[in-house]
Amino acid sequence: MERSPNREGFEAVLRSPTVREAILYEKMPKGKVRCGLCERRCLISPGARGFCGTRMNLNGTLYTLVYGDLSALESRPIEIKPFFHYWPGSTALTYSTWSCNLDCVWCQNWTLSKVKPRPQTARYYAPERVVEAALKAGDEGLCSSFQEPTLLTDWNIQLFRKARTKGLYCCYVSNGYMTLEALRLLWDSGMDGLKIDVKGDMETYRRYCGGVDVEIVWRNAREAKRMGFHVEIVNLVVTGVNDDDECLRWVIERHLKEVGPETPLHFTRYYPAYRLNNPSTKVETIERAYEMAKEAGVAYPYIGNVPGHRYEHTYCPECGETLIKRFGYRVVRYRLTDDKRCPKCGYHVNLRGRYVKKPRILF
């Protein structure tokens, strides 16, 4: 646990509008608290923070330090998440806070996820302000992304409730390590899209992601589907880490078992970042993962971070017809019928929301 500043520092922290009493925690003996936001379930002593550094115990009360503390805010295409079967063609006002509850050595967004919050200098964003910004920008929804959105759940719940009254969709790009209690609160608040990054097998998580349990991630993916979330799974294929056939096959088999063949599965290309300098993943490796998934029965496998590749497109699982053609993060052709069927054979495609035709803007 990270020890916090002295009592004078505590008082300064409490004056920040981004500091609020946290949801999902339990008071324990000797002034300690048990956090129930993610499955680390940190036991936090008085004057200390949990693993993520965003929740602090002050005199036996747990506080979130990132309530409305945003590190980034911008409109982005939903395909960049990637969500390929959720409001295709739309844009989402995308935002983040600080830090993470995992410690992946290849983190692509480490400038945000490896920074602990500083409430004394934070700038507070009211939920109403973010909803207004999304509507003004012409976005169809909101997406909590860039770093782990679970850490912003206290604020996101309030944001999503307001957003849904204005017709905006709400989604997470997550590592999937939240508790079931947090997942249920998000569903009840109006969130219905969840993209989960599966890093690899048990050994991948143990060696490269801070020793957490991949079974929790699969449990949450399964339970999210059961609740009614639209779920898409992403596996970043990292050279020398999780790119062998055994690991790829394990991810594919678990995907089929836990979330089923109709759930999209994206294999994305790794580029060196943060503390890992392994070579970029070979395109041939990503293609092999795609073919393995297709042969195993995944209806909608995809390749990511390879702009212009033919495996960015959506093909009909029944007849092979091209249904949605993409280039990078843009939909360039959409051929599904109004009831989301293949125009050639009538196969119904698993897709949430509606197609949004946007001006051709390069992101």
CATH of domain 72-307: 3.20.20.70
Alpha helical stretches, state H, the chain: 7-14, 110-113, 127-137, 153-165, 180-189, 202-208, 214-227, 245-258, 283-296
Closest to 152 measured CA to CA, from 72, 94, 96, 111: 96
Cα(291)–Cα(179) distance, integer angstroms = 33
- Residues sharing a CB contact under 8 Å with residue 301, sequence separation 6 or more, in sequence order: 264, 265, 266, 267, 289, 290, 293, 294, 311
Burial class of residue 177, CB neighbours in 10 A (0-12, 13-18, 19+): buried
Token representation of residue 329: 């993060």
Cα(276)–Cα(325) distance, integer angstroms = 33
Helix (H, G, I), strand (E, B) or coil at 262: coil
Digit-by-digit pLDDT tens for the chain (363 residues) are 555 455 556 677 788 999 999 999 999 999 999 999 999 999 999 999 999 999 999 999 999 999 999 999 999 999 999 999 999 999 999 999 999 999 999 999 999 999 999 999 999 999 999 999 999 999 999 999 999 999 999 999 999 999 999 999 999 999 999 999 999 999 999 999 999 999 999 999 999 999 999 999 999 999 999 999 999 999 999 999 999 999 999 999 999 999 999 999 999 999 999 999 999 999 999 999 999 999 999 999 999 999 999 999 999 999 999 999 999 899 999 999 999 999 999 999 999 999 999 876 544
Domain with CATH 3.20.20.70 in the chain: 72-307
Helix (H, G, I), strand (E, B) or coil at 278: coil
- Residues sharing a CB contact under 8 Å with residue 121, sequence separation 6 or more, in sequence order: none
Model pTM? 0.96
